[in-house]
């Protein structure tokens, strides 16, 4: 929110009027079907001639109290670099495709990071208890602490899981740099009713009871923590979006380990794999490729059912278009996925990522599109 676009309100009309006089615009106007590259070339010319070399534009920029000439030049250079990167369609496609793979890998890393929290928090409490024993005047409670929390059987089973340990060591997963997060979470746990009730009940705990403790702690204390959200945001741009889904997988994993029968070990119930099977591993990439391949075709379908008396097809929210194209791609190309599942998933995505009205709008468009496809025999599933 540090940008001040209103500073340029007075200069925008003169910039707009000057665009048709640019040689780049005159060349652009002769192109019947401009490509992304053609549009980028035009905008690079606008930035170079009407922003960077425009004294009136620079004077407007100087109205910002933080203005510096070096900053202005870096800003122009960054803008030109960003525009230039948009000029290569293939480069953009490859970058987006690689980003998809990277985001999936980061989500799986987050799953392990979240599981590791239990072990890190337990170690922190063990260290606190040990330090208390060495106080100058330790109490009897300090010298003989209740060790059931730090001797938690679920944490021991998780730590013994070879697959989990291998991933942690290979990817160098650690919370060392976020030691304040571990401290904050431990403090919140010790103050929670969940912890108090667990420690108040006498006797040795079973694996099932110890796993139930951590399921409750993750669900009510750890996953909703603002401190955790801030820590994740500082480590990966993907993780706050993935937290809810990976949190669900963590809860499932804790339950599975808690259900181990006596004599079994965690090898019997390995950590959840990154993908369910080969088909699952291909789904994201296939969906992406099909959406790109049929983008214009599916966009025309969307525009056919936009109520032009209420909506201007050219001014639809970009995110809404992306979501609808992806939804139609799934509906048409993946017959094993029921329509209701696709509708629910993409309406939920729209509610999360787009405008408050997007969910209802996308639901209406998808309904009209699927009805049309059924009538023409293109879509056969229910």
60 and 114 belong to one structural domain: no
- How much is the average pLDDT of 54-83? 90
149 and 294 belong to one structural domain: no
48 and 179 belong to one structural domain: no
Supply the pLDDT for residue 179.
87
pLDDT digits (tens, 9 = 90+) for 276-323: 899 999 999 999 999 999 999 999 999 888 865 555 566 678 899 999
Q: Which of 54-58, 174-178, 263-267, 282-286 bottoms out in mean pLDDT, i.e. has the lowest?
A: 263-267
Supply the pLDDT for residue 120.
96
Q: pLDDT class for 155, splitting at 50, 70, 90?
A: very high
Structure tokens at 238: 């993907």
71 and 191 belong to one structural domain: no
241 and 305 belong to one structural domain: no
In a domain, 42, yes or no: yes
In a domain, 93, yes or no: no
Question: Which phi-psi region, left, alpha or beta, contains residue 154 (left: φ > 0; alpha: ψ -120 to 50)?
Answer: alpha
In a domain, 323, yes or no: yes
42 and 131 belong to one structural domain: no
141 and 261 belong to one structural domain: yes
Q: Which of 182-191, 294-303, 304-313, 350-359 bottoms out in mean pLDDT, i.e. has the lowest?
A: 304-313
115 and 160 belong to one structural domain: yes
106 and 239 belong to one structural domain: yes
Structure tokens at 342: 């696709």
Helices (H), the chain: 12-18, 23-29, 36-46, 55-61, 69-85, 89-133, 140-143, 153-160, 162-171, 179-190, 193-200, 207-217, 226-235, 239-258, 278-293, 295-304, 318-333, 339-353, 358-375
pLDDT digits (tens, 9 = 90+) for 96-124: 888 999 999 999 999 999 999 999 999 99
In a domain, 17, yes or no: yes
41 and 143 belong to one structural domain: no
CA nearest neighbour of 147 among 66, 204, 80, 194: 204
**Cα 182 to Cα 60: distance, rounded to the nearest angstrom:** 48
Which of residues 249, 268, 287 is at a domain's end? Answer: 268
CATH at residue 339: 1.10.940.10
Task: State which residues form the domain around 23.
Answer: 5-87
Supply the pLDDT for residue 16.
95
In a domain, 154, yes or no: yes
222 and 361 belong to one structural domain: no
Q: Which of 13-27, 276-290, 346-360 bottoms out in mean pLDDT, i.e. has the lowest?
A: 346-360
Lookup result for tokens 């820590």: 231
Q: If DSSP states are collapsed to H, E and C, what string results for 34-89? A: CCHHHHHHHHHHHHHHHHHCCHHHHHHHCCCCCCCHHHHHHHHHHHHHHHHHCCCH
């Amino acid at each position: 929110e540090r940008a001040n676009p209103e500073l340029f309100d007075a200069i925008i009309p003169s910039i707009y009027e000057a665009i048709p006089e640019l040689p780049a615009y005159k060349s652009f106007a002769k192109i019947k079907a401009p490509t992304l590259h053609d549009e980028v070339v035009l905008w690079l010319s606008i930035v170079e001639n009407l922003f960077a070399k425009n004294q009136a534009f620079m004077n407007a920029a100087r109205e910002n109290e933080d203005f510096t000439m070096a900053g202005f030049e870096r800003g122009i250079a960054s803008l030109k670099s960003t525009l230039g990167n948009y000029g290569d369609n293939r480069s953009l496609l490859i970058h987006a495709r690689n980003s998809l793979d990277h985001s999936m890998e980061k989500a799986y890393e987050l799953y392990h990071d979240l599981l590791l929290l239990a072990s890190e928090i337990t170690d922190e409490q063990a260290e606190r208890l040990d330090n208390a024993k060495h106080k100058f005047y330790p109490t009897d409670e300090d010298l003989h602490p209740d060790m059931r929390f730090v001797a938690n059987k679920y944490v021991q089973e998780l730590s013994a899981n070879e697959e989990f340990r291998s991933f942690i060591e290979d990817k160098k997963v650690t919370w060392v740099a976020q030691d304040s997060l571990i401290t904050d979470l431990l403090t919140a746990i010790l103050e929670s009713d969940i912890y108090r009730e667990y420690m108040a009940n006498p006797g040795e705990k079973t694996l099932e009871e110890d796993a139930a403790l951590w399921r409750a702690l993750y669900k009510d204390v750890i996953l909703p923590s603002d401190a955790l959200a801030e820590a994740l945001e500082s480590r990966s741009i993907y993780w706050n979006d993935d937290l809810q889904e990976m949190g669900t997988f963590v809860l499932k994993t804790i339950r599975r380990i808690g259900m181990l029968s006596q004599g079994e070990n965690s090898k019997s119930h390995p950590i959840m794999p990154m993908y369910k099977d080969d088909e699952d591993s291909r789904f994201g990439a296939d969906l992406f490729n099909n959406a790109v391949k049929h983008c214009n075709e599916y966009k025309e379908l969307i525009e056919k059912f936009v109520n032009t008396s209420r909506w201007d097809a050219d001014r639809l929210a970009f995110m809404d278009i992306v979501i609808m194209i992806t939804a139609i791609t799934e509906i048409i190309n993946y017959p094993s996925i029921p329509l209701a599942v696709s509708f629910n998933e993409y309406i939920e995505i729209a509610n999360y990522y787009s405008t408050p009205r997007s969910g209802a709008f996308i639901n209406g468009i998808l309904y009209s599109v699927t009805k049309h496809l059924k009538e023409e025999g293109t879509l056969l599933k229910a």
